[in-house]
Amino acid sequence: MFPVTGAVVERRIENQREQLYQRVERTDPGRDPPPIRCCFALFIRRQYNEDGEIHVGDTPTTNVRSSEWKTLSGINLQPFYSAEDLPSLPWPPPPGEFPYTRGIHTSMYRQRLWTMRQFSGFGTPEETNERYRYLLSHGQNGLSVAFDLPTLMGYDADAPEALGEVGKCGVSICSLEDMELLFRGIPLDQVSVSMTINSPAAVIWAMYLAVAENQNASYSSLRGTIQNDILKEYIAQKEYIFPPRPSMRLVTDVIEYATQHTPLYNPISISGYHIREAGSNAVQELAFTIRDGSEYVDWALSRGLRIDDFAPRLSFFFNAHNDFFEEIAKFRAARNIWAEAMRDRYGAKDERSWKLRFHAQTAGCSLTWQQPMNNVVRTAIQALAAVMGGTQSLHTNSLDEAYALPSERAVTLALRTQQILAHEAGITDVPDPFGGSYFVENLTAAMEASARTYIEQIDATGGMLAAIERGFPQSEIANASYRYQTEVDSGERVVVGVNAFTQQEDEAIETFATEESAQDHQAEKLSRLRRKRDATRTAQALDTLKRTAEGDGSLMPAILQAVRSYATVGEITGALKGVFGTYSETSVL
């Protein structure tokens, strides 16, 4: 931080003006003198270089702006916008009215704030349970479970494939016993729980349901979301186990079971977040996510479900990235596209089916290990965009996540960021305050048109599964990622602290480290579990699961039976692998 006050600033501007003009003339003859604000910025930069206290870079592009103005997605921007830029655009109706451009509720946050849901999980279930209690005691009103890589890939903690990964990027869950420990002392009928897991989502959700049973919580009282979005795994995140079609069967089984038994629980979170984290731009994130949603709807309809029975519980998950206005436009366009698809393409009659409800998370891919305190600012701007875009729940990333899982101090600051936005900034008083802005309305229309072009291309290939098999979304994301990184590497796109305004040494920050003992602890618990459970009951449940998988009936009852018998995640996914096989991606260049 520069140790200068307002009075010092004024004196330095006055005293150094002529000297600065002379410096500029010497270094860049013929250039017009910079304005006072720019002069002082140059002075501060050079003064601190000369004093040796801090080096913030002399990149020429930091004060000379590009002649091309585009969003991160490449949408061209005009010098300014006026009513003339909206002649053919229908003026969006008020919030709460179809197609919900301005928000799905009439009063939005006046009536109820978004859910503040911090993604968390590490080490053992016992350790993560302590973190959850801490977060709830500090004002968080929803839990979001992060699982470790072995769990995400369907392995138990004692599997050879799990070596070195147990508890590293999330909590290790191997059995119903672990899930009971994870939610010990946390009443599931009172706390909304989101779980980010995909290939073995049906297994983990069954464990959650079994814990609710043990707590005597009715299914009808359970609130939250299971991610359960396998298509984006093939597109972006690559944490798949089974081939696409058996995986889609499992997704549809969860949607069907939730429709029948858990009316308040979202059985899928159709996720653009990971598509963006893989390198897509905002238009691609929007288009591929919405088209994934249509694919799930098609599969549910083919199962025999009625559109208005399940569509109200479909939810979405978007990234909130750096381009403030583009992100707001993206969220507004998403509601437009989804509402029209549900009403006009699928014939939904229930208004709730038309409304796109979404969770947002600030952009992990935008966090930098250089000057990590800058991440606080990035996160605040991204969170503001999500709120201005009408999110229903929000996770704010912590400043240290480019290094490790967040520390308690960092995650508390991330939560406080949301609370300050909610209670101090005045942004919740009026729904969609940017509605009617010539720029935002024009950009919303441009985002929607660009996304619809992608959707039409995917429809022409036969749907998203066919497009994935051809490698279409994967190659589009790879190209966008390459373009962005090229811009950063060349200095065309400035990333503060990375390719401009750099420091010789970054400030040291506290980081969180998981205990290396997590793997041994989980393996010992598994060994005890296998000795004490009813082995015959477990074996019978796994055999029933295999036989069900060989047919075409729903797998959820058989998975629940296996979970209640304390079959492990690895055993259940192993039984399904024996029937479905596993998947390896064919690279498309």
Per-residue pLDDT tens over the stretch 537-553: 999 999 999 999 999 99
What is the pLDDT at residue 65?
A: 62
Is 192 in the same domain as 328?
yes
What is the pLDDT at residue 514?
A: 78
The Cα–Cα gap between 493 and 309 comes to 46
Question: How many domains would you assign to the chain?
Answer: 2
Mean pLDDT across the stretch 370-395? Answer: 97
- Does 512 map to a domain? no
Give the chain's mean pLDDT.
89
Is 301 in the same domain as 357?
yes
Higher pLDDT, 265 or 116: 265
Is 100 in the same domain as 14?
no
Is 300 in the same domain as 213?
yes
pLDDT higher than threshold 50 for residue 164? yes
Backbone angles phi, psi at 486, to 5 degrees: -65, -40
pLDDT higher than threshold 80 for residue 402? yes
What is the pLDDT at residue 4?
A: 33
Question: By the 8 A CB rule, do 308 and 347 touch?
Answer: no
Position 354 confidence tier, pLDDT thresholds 50, 70, 90: very high
- Does 537 map to a domain? no
Is 44 in the same domain as 182?
no
What is the pLDDT at residue 585?
A: 85
Position 32 confidence tier, pLDDT thresholds 50, 70, 90: very low
pLDDT higher than threshold 70 for residue 589? no
What is the pLDDT at residue 30?
A: 53
Is 231 in the same domain as 367?
yes
Last residue of a domain, one of 451, 467, 490: 490
Position 64 confidence tier, pLDDT thresholds 50, 70, 90: low
CATH of the domain at 278: 3.20.20.240
Range of the domain at 48: 6-54
Is 104 in the same domain as 49?
no
pLDDT higher than threshold 80 for residue 325? yes
Going by C-alpha positions, the residue among 287, 293, 296, 300 that lies closest to residue 316 is 293
The Cα–Cα gap between 312 and 66 comes to 45
Question: By the 8 A CB rule, do 218 and 204 touch?
Answer: no
Last residue of a domain, one of 490, 516, 539: 490
Last residue of a domain, one of 439, 460, 490: 490
Backbone angles phi, psi at 196, to 5 degrees: -95, 95
The tokens for 589 are 């260049």
- Does 86 map to a domain? no
Q: Are strands 393-395 and 192-196 parallel, antiparallel or unpaired?
A: unpaired
- Does 461 map to a domain? yes
Count helices and strands in the chain by DSSP H and E runs: 22, 9
- Does 80 map to a domain? no
What is the pLDDT at residue 29?
A: 52
Length of the chain: 589
The Cα–Cα gap between 313 and 114 comes to 17
Considering only 1-15, 440-454, 488-502, 516-530, which range has the smallest mean pLDDT?
1-15
Going by C-alpha positions, the residue among 116, 119, 139, 123 that lies closest to residue 512 is 123
**76 DSSP β-pair partners:** 70
- Does 250 map to a domain? yes
Question: By the 8 A CB rule, do 319 and 391 touch?
Answer: no
Backbone angles phi, psi at 114, to 5 degrees: -65, 155
What is the pLDDT at residue 139?
A: 82
Is 156 in the same domain as 41?
no
Is 245 in the same domain as 301?
yes
The Cα–Cα gap between 109 and 387 comes to 9
pLDDT higher than threshold 50 for residue 49? no
- Does 541 map to a domain? no
What is the pLDDT at residue 68?
A: 80
Mean pLDDT across the stretch 440-445? Answer: 96
Is 481 in the same domain as 371?
yes
Is 116 in the same domain as 42?
no
Q: Give the model confidence (pLDDT) of 124-151 as tens digits.
A: 999 999 989 988 888 877 898 999 999 9
- Does 550 map to a domain? no
Mean pLDDT across the stretch 31-56? Answer: 36
Is 19 in the same domain as 140?
no
Mean pLDDT across the stretch 96-100? Answer: 97
